[in-house]
Amino acid sequence: MLRINPFARLLSQPSCNLCRSRYRLENRVIQNIRTSSSAAAVAENDDVVAAQNNYKIIQEAGNFEETEATRPDFDHSKPIEITKSPFPQWNYGDGVPDNGKSLGQQHHEIDPYAPDRPMISNYRLVVSGIAPRPIGFISTVSSDGQKNLSPFSYFQVLDHDPPMFIVGFSSRPGRVKDTYRNIKETGECVINTVSENMIEAVNATSIDAPYGVSEWDVSGLHEAPSTTVRPSRVAESVLSIEGKVVDIKEFTDHQQPGMSIAANVLIKATRFWVKEGTVNADYSHIDIEKLRPIGQLGGISYGRIASTFERPRKKWDQEVPKSEFLAKLDAAKSNVK
Ligand SMILES: Cc1cc2nc3c(=O)[nH]c(=O)nc-3n(C[C@H](O)[C@H](O)[C@H](O)COP(=O)(O)O)c2cc1C
């Protein structure tokens, strides 16, 4: 069997006849492998170009400046109003007390993997339907010291004991997101919160800057030192969470030609930093008036908290004696253990 090292230099011509024919064969195989591997590289590039042409996540916003000029100014001093809840007289078993209005329409079933279902339709559906989403503003450093700062709203806190967080990195044409690359390389990050006054700077960091350009510079936001991880905190954020990677799930079975891999990353907090003056005396509750969180909605929309209402959570044992409805459910409950 002819064993070939595709990366070997072409062999120099030997003197004997047998050796010469073997030499020609070996060199032909090497040439073929080189041609096919460079053909593969071209095919790969073609795939990336095709993927790039199909990539519609970043929507053209048309003449956005003109549209925005017609809108009222952002009111920085608007207090967060506290109202009653939508149906304060609600009782157990009432469902949605709107005279059946919310049951008026049928639902349409969608198979997200149907061959005629474009990926972009799934994107638009999930980001407009799962809203508002908190924004994890993530600071990372590559193993060779390149700094990165980008927003992610496929993001959530999962638990408090231990404090756990998840981030979803979407695929894109060509290379993976720099944040994901850094997180995978170093296992470290800082998750920072996003308040109303930060949103233009945060949105700007989502630009597809080339690897090696720091979004700290792009945004003008300020770095503050961390203690348990290398990446900096965002000094403007009310809450920052230093964290280390616990697990990564890459969706290799779903990778498309020319697109980077998509991945979910599970992060465990190693430190909290909370801004003085935004939190109560024992550092356990952040004032929403000070946090002023921004949520990401569908399309290019963001939302602020304009009003809140309260609704206490109840305990079964205390509620059953007060409610005939719950007492009936309690009496009829299955005894299966
Ligand atoms: C508010 C906001 C939320 C975003 N959420 C995500 C997300 O959850 N996952 C993702 O892959 N990209 C998300 N993006 C896009 C990334 O921020 C963008 O691709 C960025 O260029 C990634 O930067 P990086 O390559 O430096 O990591 C979001 C962008 C914005 C503006």
Expressed in angstroms and rounded, the spacing between residue 262 Cα and the centre of ligand 1 is 12
The pair phi, psi for residue 188, each rounded to 5°, is -130, 150
Whether residue 187 contacts residue 246, with contact meaning beta carbons closer than 8 Å, is answered with no
- Ligand 1 touching residue 152 (CB < 6 A): yes
- What is the pLDDT, as a whole number, of residue 58? 80
Q: Give the pLDDT confidence score for residue 80 in this predicted structure.
A: 97
Pick the closest to residue 243 from 135, 134, 139 (CA basis): 139
Residue type, 281: A
Tell the burial category of 235 from Cβ atoms under 10 Å away from its Cβ (0-12, 13-18, 19+).
middle
β-pair type (81-82, 307-308): parallel
Residue to substitute in 52, 141, 150 for testing ligand 1 pocket (most ligand atoms within 8 angstroms of CB) = 150
Ligand 1 touching residue 203 (CB < 6 A):
yes
Pick the atom of ligand 1 nearest to 151's CA: 17
CB of 264 shorter than 6 A to ligand 1: no
Could you give the dihedral angle defined by the CA atoms of residues 31, 35, 37 and 40, in that order, rounded to the nearest 10 degrees?
-170
pTM for this one? Answer: 0.86
Spacing, Cα 87 to ligand 1 middle (Å): 37
- Quote the DSSP letter at residue 253: G
Q: Which ligand 1 atom is nearest residue 208's CA?
A: 21
Q: Quick check: CB of 296 below 6 Å from ligand 1? A: yes
Length of the chain: 337
Which pLDDT value is given to residue 191?
99
What is the tens place of the pLDDT at every residue in 267-287?
Answer: 999 999 999 999 999 999 999
| pLDDT value of residue 23 | 38
The pLDDT value given to residue 50? 87
pLDDT digits (tens, 9 = 90+) for 3-57: 323 223 333 344 444 444 443 433 333 333 333 334 444 557 888 988 888 888 8
User: Does 58 contact ligand 1 (Cβ within 6 A)?
Assistant: no
pLDDT in tens, the chain (337 residues): 323 232 233 333 444 444 444 434 333 333 333 333 344 445 578 889 888 888 888 877 789 999 999 999 999 999 999 999 999 999 999 999 999 999 999 999 999 999 999 999 999 999 999 999 999 999 999 999 999 999 999 999 999 999 999 999 999 999 999 999 999 999 999 999 999 999 999 999 999 888 778 899 999 999 999 999 999 999 999 999 999 999 999 999 999 999 999 999 999 999 999 999 999 999 999 999 999 999 999 999 999 999 999 999 999 999 999 999 999 999 998 876 6
pLDDT at res. 336: 65
- Is residue 270 within 8 Å of residue 246, measured between CB atoms? no
Pocket test for ligand 1, best of 152, 181, 296 (most atoms within 8 A of CB): 152
Query: What distance in angstroms lies between residue 34's CA and the mean position of ligand 1's atoms?
Result: 37
pLDDT tens-digit readout, 310-325: 999 999 999 999 999 9
SS3 category, 192? strand
Helix, strand, or coil here: 310? coil
In whole angstroms, give the CA distance from residue 304 to residue 9.
63
